[in-house]
Structure 1
């Protein structure tokens, strides 16, 4: 099983760091190993938004009305004949577990693109990271 960390980045920060995702990645990795550091904690809270735990779980659950979906506090399990997915939603981080990036992409990430536009994803086992959905471009007239 692969684990992915998902962060909801505040819109102004997402706009500013959209093309500097490596900086955001390195900060989030460093923060995860320095959670006791008050400076990192303040910076983390400055750039991330709290996730609406129940709404996020309910939204994903509604995408699979015909599948085996189990919900417990802050967690969602989706069972398919050949795959299982687990989603753990914490206030500022969502951890998604699945067999591969491809499977998580088509099962979870595809739907999350419609939930919010500034999710940043990190594959915890490798140095893969990026925005879950592209930023919408503003048209200037």
Structure 2
């Protein structure tokens, strides 16, 4: 099973750290692994500084609106599910104000559907798979070029 935590990074931070996502990943990873209470407090402040709270109500509405006609989609009381038996693909999305959790297994079809909905509605989501040390923006951020 693949598990992603998806964070909403502040726009200015996302633009400044585009191409240097490893630094953000290391911050979150250190937070997950630290046992020191003082260090946890410090790291949490840093994480709160670079992230924004997620509007759960807004995102629930957007996800349901965009996926409600898809036969593979189901809204559960605390989560959203996309299951495709033919493709052997399953993904479950849980929303919280601090981050989104996406659990998936099988082919990538179901999780890609959720990633696409999130990407279309906010370009500053950063997905992290801590188990496999993978991370990346759901929507690549383009830097403005001034002439």
Work out whether the TM-score is over 0.5: yes
Q: Give the superposition deviation at 1:58.
A: 2.3
User: In angstroms, what is the RMSD of aligned CA positions?
Assistant: 2.1
The corresponding residue for 1:26 is 26
In the TM superposition, residue 104 of structure 1 has moved relative to its aligned partner by 4.6
Greater CA radius of gyration, 1 or 2?
2
TM-score (normalizing by structure 1): 0.86
Query: Is there any run of 5+ residues in structure 2 with no aligned partner, and where?
Result: none
Distance 2:14 2:80 in 1: 27
Deviations 1:79-104 (A, max 9, x none): 33333321111111111011157335
Aligned match of 2:54 in 51, 54, 66? 51
TM-score between the two structures when normalised by the length of structure 2: 0.83
State the alpha-carbon separation in 2 of the partners of residues 104 and 26 from structure 1: 28
Partner in structure 1 of residue 121 of structure 2: 115
2:108 aligns to what SS in structure 1? helix
Deviation, 1:41, is: 1.3
Instruction: State how many pairs are aligned.
Output: 140
